[in-house]
Amino acid sequence: MYLTTEVKKEIFKKYGSSETNTGSTEGQIALFTHRINHLSNHLKKNHKDYNTERSLVKLVGKRRSLLDYLKKKDINRYRELIKELNIRK
């Protein structure tokens, strides 16, 4: 499995404030980005997997809404997170 509890803890420790703070906006965006990258690689090999494509689109939408929220709350944290995660903007 690609997303174990250790990987989640590492993501939340790096981008959130702690391992147990799973509700932080930055941690959630980083987790979604990790999942989006994994699904994108899967779809490169399995281009007819439409269920995965649908879940990828839903994840991108969730991440976009969280990024909009973070941008509205604190523009500096938004810019810093985008640079760290290598998201296009």
Structural domain range at position 75: 5-15+22-85
Q: Determine the pLDDT at residue 88.
A: 78
Model confidence at 1: pLDDT above 80: no
Based on the structure, what is the number of domains in the chain? 1
Q: Read off the pLDDT of residues 6-34 as tens digits, 9 standing for 90 and up.
A: 999 999 999 988 888 888 999 999 999 99
For residue 69, give the nearest of 58, 81, 57 by alpha carbon.
81
Q: 82 falls in which pLDDT band (50, 70, 90)?
A: very high
Q: Determine the pLDDT at residue 17.
A: 84
**What's 59's domain CATH number?**
1.10.287.10
Q: What is the pTM of this model?
A: 0.92
Q: How far is CA 36 from the centre of its chain?
A: 7
